[in-house]
Amino acid sequence: MSRWVKPDINTKFHIDLEWWRKKGRDFRVHLRSHLCPECQAVYANHLEVEEIDWIDSETAEVTKVDGLWQCLRTHCSQLPDYITEKVALTTSVFRLFLANGNAPLSPIEMYRILGKQTPEIILRTLSGRQVYEGIKPIPPEEKPQ
């Protein structure tokens, strides 16, 4: 069991997929709800889309990725209405993590990308008692070296 450390504006956050499992919620159903209408129609049955082969355009490396998530990353997140001022802060942060492949980000980095609120407001929102869409701080022992 890790010791709790109070997050600050430099603490990295991510979508904790284990949180979704523990809550008994289907991450892929929620992921599909963040697809654009065109992709939602294409992937009407999200259960049929599992892993696909993805070729990195820079390295030509082939990896297996979640088809829904990759569609969101390469298509939906590029649309101008993916993250707007009308989208709630927590939804914007969730969509940011979906778009960047769940790469950890601090509230400062989130603010720089989103331009919403302030790093302090983002921190207060994400580090309160309520966990929004599985977005949690990365425990210190899990931080990448």
Question: What DSSP assignment string belongs to 24-92?
Answer: T--HHHHHHHTS-HHHHHHTSSGGG--EEEEE-TTT--EEEEEHHHHHHHHTGGGSTTSS-TTS-HHHH
Strand partners, 136: 14
**Integer Cα distance of 112 and 58 in angstroms:** 25
- The dihedrals phi and psi of 66, each to the nearest 5 degrees, come to -70, 125
Mean pLDDT calculated for residue range 110-138? 94
Tally of residues, the chain: 145
Mean pLDDT calculated for residue range 12-19? 95
Mean pLDDT calculated for residue range 2-30? 89
Please enumerate in sequence order all residues whose Cβ is within 8 A of that of 3, keeping only pairs 6 or more positions apart, or say none.
Answer: none
Mean pLDDT calculated for residue range 55-59? 71
Instruction: State residue 2's pLDDT score.
Output: 54
**Which has the higher per-residue pLDDT, 1 or 44?**
44
Helix and strand tally (H, E) in the chain? 7, 4
Instruction: State residue 49's pLDDT score.
Output: 62
> At CA 23, angle to CA 22 and CA 29, rounded to 5?
110
